[in-house]
Structure 1
């Protein structure tokens, strides 16, 4: 996507991030379960959530997996990671770093190699996805898995037209990410998961106003308000129902896991 002050966007949003991002009580458990199943997580795995934000999904995964090694919550925003708690839970370890920092080895991790890692809706913030994914792949142990969870090239969210058009202009193609994983030496595949979201209309408008998607940070206050007016006309129903579809790009390093 376009280069903008992504870190600043999340620093400002950190304290209210969970409130604006959780669509409903079922969303985080559903997505976390999908991530754990796709990666075939085991309690003995050394795991990292790259671009973890406040750790929404890492917390849920750890709660059910009961990992023997703390899940690494990696994010460049210290403010987002502070939402893990002070101190953070024993099964989570916050690490202030970007995906590039991990890929390039400029930030040292507690584990020499990783058995599983995921990037949930963060790959579009990476300036050079091919190079960064190759570096992350190099951190995998034999049999290690890397999962990129991302929105598809187009979405059916009830956003205003300018936001939907900008999303399609900027969103990377999941097939391209699959190609990057193959080029990094991983066995790779692409699949999709989907479920229906149902959100109170006024709550969703508030999420848009709070710029819950980083895409929305590219619009001015007046553009956001104009967009919400457009959405209000297009959607008179009190509850918005729409499909939430994600691409799951999974790569696996050849060899038996340690």
Structure 2
């Protein structure tokens, strides 16, 4: 993964500033459980699990045998380690797989663009998964409908690989691949969205200075004069099964 300095800097405030609605989180959690067919017999590896909030909910709601939150940012991993129902690993994706820690299901939620050398990574996952094991990638199209300023949209586009690339790589490894496009829309007070931008809740925003962020907020304000702002999130769920 890329150097985790950005996430180290926002770890303590991440759970507070991540204002996406409870309904949104329920929407994502429900599809993860369904797409991965999670059950009490499963051991989940959540790669790039951040502060572990999703890992912990999946552990609880799917009644998993065990759940690992694998996070390269030390500060984020410290937050995850405070959650008693999961196990936090302070390491990157490749290093975790090299430990040969057993798992039956693997989640890559909004992190796949951070992982380099993906072909050997897919091969390592295929070798580690049992027959019938699954991995799930949650990613976004290169063009997003988030209310971002133009330069942020361009940065996202250039940093986000096409999802078709992941599909083809997984199929080459021998996985059976299924893809679903889903979206969720919710409203946020603009002040909440602006706080998320100022804290650079997405790694793509780390490229911009405070002055550029403030100029971007002025740009957004001209487009969205209302007190609330609609957040439209188009997500791509890619499920790969080891047959």
TM-score, with structure 1 as normaliser? 0.89
In the other structure, the counterpart of 1:70 is: 66
In the other structure, the counterpart of 2:21 is: 24
Check the 8 A contact 1:28/1:56 in 2, yes or no.
no
How far, CA to CA, are the matches of 2:69 and 2:100 in structure 1? 13
**Structure-to-structure mapping, 1:150-189, within 5 angstroms:** 150-189=139-178
Q: CA deviation at 1:78?
A: 2.3
Check the 8 A contact 2:42/2:66 in 1, yes or no.
no
In the other structure, the counterpart of 1:249 is: 238
How far, CA to CA, are the matches of 1:251 and 1:175 in structure 2? 13
Tell me, what secondary structure is at the counterpart of 1:143? coil
TM-score, with structure 2 as normaliser? 0.95
Match of 2:127 among 114, 138, 142: 138
How far, CA to CA, are the matches of 1:48 and 1:22 in structure 2? 25
Q: CA deviation at 1:108?
A: 4.7
Check the 8 A contact 2:69/2:80 in 1, yes or no.
no
| CA 1:169–1:85: 2 relative to 1, 3 Å | closer
Deviation per CA, 1:120-169, whole angstroms, max 9, x where unpaired? 00001012222222222221111100111011121101100111112112
In the other structure, the counterpart of 1:36 is: 33
- Determine if the alignment matches structure 1 residue 217 to structure 2 residue 206: yes
Check the 8 A contact 1:175/1:190 in 2, yes or no.
no
Match of 1:96 among 90, 97, 100: 90
Structure 1: stretches of 5+ with no match in the other structure: none
Structure 2: stretches of 5+ with no match in the other structure: none
How far, CA to CA, are the matches of 1:72 and 1:251 in structure 2? 19
In the other structure, the counterpart of 2:136 is: 147
- Determine if the alignment matches structure 1 residue 51 to structure 2 residue 40: no
In the other structure, the counterpart of 1:14 is: 11
Deviation per CA, 1:161-208, whole angstroms, max 9, x where unpaired? 111112112211111111111112111122111111211111101100
How far, CA to CA, are the matches of 1:183 and 1:29 in structure 2? 33
Instruction: Figure out how many residues of one structure are paired with residues of the other and give that number.
Output: 243
How far, CA to CA, are the matches of 1:228 and 1:163 in structure 2? 11
How far, CA to CA, are the matches of 2:19 and 2:132 in structure 1? 33
